[in-house]
Amino acid sequence: MINPAKTVLVTGATSGFGEAMAVKFAAAQHRIIITGRRAERLELLKQRLEKDYGVPVLVLCFDIRDRQACFAAVASIPETFAPIDILINNAGGAWGRDNVADANLDDWETMLDTNVKGLMYMTKALLPQMIARKQGHIVNIGSIAGKEPYENGNGYNAAKFAVEGFSRALRIDLLPHHIKVTHVAPGAAETEFSLVRFKGDDEKAAAVYKGYEPLTAGDVADVVYYTTTLPQHVCINDLTLTPTAQANSYTTYKS
Ligand code: NDP
Ligand code: 8X3
């Protein structure tokens, strides 16, 4: 556990990694701010965290693609949750998996708006308070898709390469402010990710995780949590984690 309790803002907490990270940090007795578009899920998670761990939980329901909404949400955070110590930019996903010739431009825009621009808006909105305190930690969830491109990954590859590029640039610019920046690049993890990517096609989504043991959202949450527990003078800049069966974004050993 990190002492004393901190405030952790997790974007995209209505499912998958974000939900698991909210649980992990709440279990460690931190104040939690959870965001996403699905209000009912956020409310249920808030009730669960408050009941199970007795920590204060704030819900901010908004679309991360909306620049004004991001800044308004951050401005609405009450004193009891300020300042934010850890920002976990997790909201995102893939939409479509088509050859570049057939790829849908709306999918590309959704991926760039969500994974990249939303992450940049949230970072910009929260930076002033971190800079004022010369303290803070920003964890950006990229992907192995941002390390090595793969067939039909095009728009998602571009978005996640941008996440790593922005994270590395942030790390440099924030050095004088003593703010940590950690880029985390997970491999295949079974969440709602593939269901979103294949637009609700259960069979296609399930096939992604057949023949090997994928990561769970809990595995990713454990690793992200670890990156936030190190002494102030230690920063993990870049961390890749994959299932043991997966070597990189295009090589997985399946039985
Ligand atoms: P999920 O689909 O389970 O979760 C995605 C989260 O992002 C949801 O909470 C969703 O909330 C939120 N989100 C999506 N679009 C928006 C939006 N426009 N505004 C606000 N929130 C949004 O997927 P994962 O948990 O797997 O993914 C989390 C992150 O990890 C993503 O950035 C993904 O790219 C990345 N990743 C996933 C991997 C995997 O294999 N699963 C591997 C590597 C990286 P809501 O829909 O309620 O708005
Ligand atoms: C999600 C992992 O390999 O489907 O970022 O791109 S992958």
Assess whether the previous peptide bond of 4 is cis (omega < 30° from 0). yes
Residue 91 lies in a domain: yes
Active site residue 253: no
Q: Distance between CA 58 and CA 43 in Å, rounded?
A: 9
The residue assigned the tokens 């941008």 is 162
Q: How many domains does the chain have?
A: 1
CATH number assigned to the domain comprising residue 212: 3.40.50.720
Per the structure, the complete domain to which residue 145 belongs is given by 7-241
Q: Cα of 20 to ligand 1 centre, how many Å?
A: 12
Residue 183 lies in a domain: yes
For 157-166, what is each residue's pLDDT tens digit? 999 999 999 9
Q: Cα of 210 to ligand 2 centre, how many Å?
A: 15
Q: Distance between CA 132 and CA 172 in Å, rounded?
A: 17
Residue 182 lies in a domain: yes
Residue 56 lies in a domain: yes
For 213-229, what is each residue's pLDDT tens digit? 999 999 999 999 999 99
Residue 191 lies in a domain: yes
Residue 253 lies in a domain: no
Overall pTM > 0.75: yes
Residue 246 lies in a domain: no
Phi, psi of 138 (to 5 degrees): -110, 125
Give the pLDDT band (50/70/90) at residue 1: very low
197 Cα nearest atom in ligand 2: 4
Residue 250 lies in a domain: no
Give the pLDDT band (50/70/90) at residue 81: very high
Give the pLDDT band (50/70/90) at residue 23: very high
Pocket test for ligand 1, best of 10, 11, 14 (most atoms within 8 A of CB): 14
Tokens of 179: 């703010």
For 175-192, what is each residue's pLDDT tens digit? 999 999 999 999 999 999
From 53, 156, 209, 212, the catalytic residue: 156
228 to 8, 28, 139: CA distances (angstroms): 10, 12, 9
Amino acid at 199: K
Is the beta carbon of 146 within 6 A of some atom in ligand 1?
Answer: no
User: What integer pLDDT is reported at residue 76 of this predicted model?
Assistant: 98
Q: Are strands 137-141 and 86-89 parallel, antiparallel or unpaired?
A: parallel
